[in-house]
Amino acid sequence: MAKIDYPYVWTDKKRTLFGLPISFTRYILTEKKLITRKGLLSITEDEIELYRVIDKSLKQPFGQRIFGCGTIHINCRDTDTPVKEVISVKNPRGFMNILEEHVDKQRDKYRTRGRDMIGADLDGDDCDCDHE
């Protein structure tokens, strides 16, 4: 695999049998993007801007959990990849905390807080309608 030539916050490989990083899939988290790089001779990269992340969830099946691995499902507002999976990485809870921190920073930078709930009027106070 090619050397990573840009600054990153976190990186890991997809883990296989016994939690070993024998894979040609690498996940790279920078301050602005989550990048998935796949391949050995031909490399394909997929990027997600962090401010577009809507929600994330962690799944740890028994086989992954006994080796300290887990899979993170990330829902985002991206046309190419609305659901991103970071499959079988070490210390998945730590990765989720780092991801959350950088997502919050990017949302603050782009002022996108609250846009996740477009159209949701949970308490009824912000209604723009004229009826009473």
pLDDT band at 79; cut points 50, 70, 90: confident
**Closest by alpha carbon to 106, among 65, 41, 54, 59?**
54
Give per-residue pLDDT as tens, 2-51: 577 779 999 999 998 889 999 999 999 999 999 999 999 999 999 999 99
Spans of all domains in the chain: 10-110
Average pLDDT of the residues in 73-79: 93
Distances (CA, A) of 52 to 30, 35, 77, 92, 114: 14, 13, 5, 20, 12
The whole model's pTM is what? 0.81
pLDDT value for 115 = 52
Give per-residue pLDDT as tens, 118-131: 544 445 555 555 55
CA atoms of 30 and 39, how far apart (whole Å): 20
pLDDT value for 121 = 47
Q: Is the pLDDT of residue 1 over 60?
A: no
pLDDT value for 119 = 46
Average pLDDT of the residues in 103-125: 68
Mean pLDDT, rounded, of the chain: 86
Domain 10-110: CATH class, spelled out: mainly beta
Q: Which strand (E) or helix (H) includes residue 63?
A: helix 62-65
